[in-house]
A = this chain, B = another copy of it.
Amino acid sequence: MTSRVGKITIRNPLLLASGILGESSGSMIRVYSSGAGGVVTKSIGMEPRDGYRNPTVYEFESGMLNAMGLPNPGIEHFSDVISRTKAAGVFTVGSIFGGDENEFSHLAGKMEAYGVDAVELNLSCPHVEGFGSELGSSPERVRSVVGAVRQAVRIPVWAKMTPNVADMGSIAAAAEEAGADAIVAINTVRAMAISARLRRPVLSNTYGGLSGEAVKYVGLRAVYEIGKKCSIPVIGVGGVRSGEDVAEYLVAGASAVQIGTAVAERGPGVFGQVADELSDFMEREGFSSLKEMIGIARR
C-alpha cells in the first residue's frame, strides 16, 4: 500500500485532511496509529485566531457544513505540536493560510523549521474573507503565492484548490508552473444552511463549506479535470468514506487521498477501516500496487 506523491513515499495513501483533528499532537498521533498514512495539520496563520462563534457546523444526512473561521494558535505557538507529532514518527504536512505571498513564505519557512515533511497551501477556504477562495480563484495570485513559497522552502509544496471557480484546471496549472509539487483538491464547496423555523442562517458566519458524501462527485471531477492539465501528482479530497471511494479517486487519477468528514461519521478508526477495505478491493480486483490503479479511468 506504499504510496508515492512526487518524491515522497508514504506508508499508505490515506491522509488526514486539514482542519480535522489537526490541532493537537495527541489527535494526530492517534489518527496515525489508527492507520493513516500521514496527517495534514489544521491551517495555521500568522496570528492566533479564535475562529467564529458557534454554530460552526451543521450536519445533514449526506454531509456537513462548517465555518470554523480558521481558528488556530498562530504559527509561533505551533512548534511544539509539530515536534511532538514528528517525534512520534508521523508523516506530517503543515497546512498554512495567509493574506499574501510574504505571509505564506514566512509560514512555510517556519513549518519547515519545525520539521514538517511538506507544506500545504490553503488557497481555498470558502468562508473567510481575504484568505482562501478569493486568492485561490485567481491564477495570477496562485502563481505568485506558490512561486514565493517555492523559493522559501526546500520541502515539497502542495497547493490546495477551491472548487468554487469556473476552471480548476487552469488554476492548478498555474500552481504547477510556479513550482508546486502536488495539487490537493478539493476544499469545501461554498454553501449555507437556513433554519426556516428560526428564520435565519444557521452558521454564525452565514456562509460555510460543504463536505462529505455530498461533494464526492465534485472532488472526483476536480481530480480528473486537473489530471488532464497537470503532470504533478494530485491528491484527492472530498467525501472519501470507504475503500471503494479511495479506489474511485485513484482510478480518476489521484496519487493519494485525504479524509475529513468521514472522521465524524466513522471516528478516527476510519483510517484503518478504509485501508483494509482498499486492500480487499485491490485483492478482489487483482491490483498488486496503487500505481496500477492511478489514472486508469483517464486512459
> Could you tell me if B221 and A191 are in contact, using CB atoms closer than 8 angstroms?
yes
Answer whether residue A200 sits at the interface, using C-beta atoms and an 8 A cutoff.
Answer: yes
Q: Which residues of A contact B (CB under 8 A)?
A: 60-63, 65, 133-134, 137, 162, 164-167, 189-197, 199-201, 206-207, 210, 213-215, 217-218, 220-221, 224-225, 244, 247-252, 281, 285, 293, 296-297
How many Å from the CB of A1 to the closest CB on chain B? 16
Task: Determine how many copies of this chain the complex contains.
Answer: 2
Of the candidates B61, B190, B195, B296, which one forms a contact with A218 in the assembled complex, judged by CB atoms under 8 Å apart?
B190
> Could you tell me if A217 and B197 are in contact, using CB atoms closer than 8 angstroms?
no
* Most B-side CB within 10 Å, residue of A207, A214, A281: A214
Q: A63-B214, A218-B189, A218-B210 are in contact. Are A297 and B224 (CB under 8 A)?
A: no
Identify 19 residue pairs between A and B in the complex whose beta-carbon atoms are under 8 Å apart, listed by A's number: A61-B61, A62-B62, A62-B213, A63-B214, A133-B166, A137-B166, A189-B218, A190-B221, A193-B217, A194-B224, A194-B249, A196-B251, A199-B296, A200-B251, A200-B296, A201-B297, A210-B217, A210-B218, A214-B214
> Could you tell me if A191 and B206 are in contact, using CB atoms closer than 8 angstroms?
no
> Could you tell me if A199 and B62 are in contact, using CB atoms closer than 8 angstroms?
no
- Known contacts A137-B167, A197-B285; 10 additional CB pairs below 8 A are A61-B213, A62-B62, A133-B166, A191-B221, A193-B217, A196-B244, A199-B251, A199-B296, A200-B297, A206-B224
How many Å from the CB of A103 to the closest CB on chain B? 21
Nearest residue, chain B, Cβ from A221: B192
> A190 contacts which chain B residues (CB < 8 A)?
218, 221
CA distance A214 to B9 in the complex (A): 35
